[in-house]
Structure 1
Amino acid sequence: MKTGPSSPWKLCPMTQVEETKQMVKMLPILVATFIPRTIVAQVGTLFIKQGTTLERIMGPHFEIPLASLTAFTIIFMLISIVNYDGYLVPLARRYTNNP
């Protein structure tokens, strides 16, 4: 809505205002995923670096491949999600009386 003298620095279309509001609403998602994404990014380099110095031999004829060490992170996450949903959430619900 135009009121008073028009200046290109003070007036912008309604679509820009709405797009800016949508972008601002997405900032909490960006902030909430920053730490998990940092961890996931580090896993790729850290496990490979550790794997070069790790003794990966299991048994007389088997050696864990270096690139498959990152799979342990995914396996642990899957196990953690099952434990969280199966044990921790029901325990917290009973403790807080909040469904």
Structure 2
Amino acid sequence: MISQNFLYSIHKDKKSIYLLCEDKAVIDCQSIYEELFRLEKTADFTFEEFQSYTPSLFFYSTLLTGSQELPNHPFFFGELDKEGNIKQEQPSYYFAPKDETLDKGKLTIYL
């Protein structure tokens, strides 16, 4: 499932997909290739080729590059400084898995 709060750009020469998201955007990583390929009705590449493209996810203008899960905070991803505090100058992420009240998990991004 893809929400309305995003734009995308496909660069065939670079074999890249750029996803530009805003607040509350929903992108299902399990189905992103199928959904974008379906939206590209005039695509001059096969679905198999498209699956080899590298995705890049931007939240507003910040490229989300991922991080390591913090040892004392499950599902929290970020970098620690020398004192063990989360670096504030880099994005960090918190994933809340789905529970009985939510149908899907939730990713919170701190910029």
TM-score (norm. length: structure 1): 0.22
Higher strand share: 2
The structure whose Rg is larger is 1
Higher helix share: 1
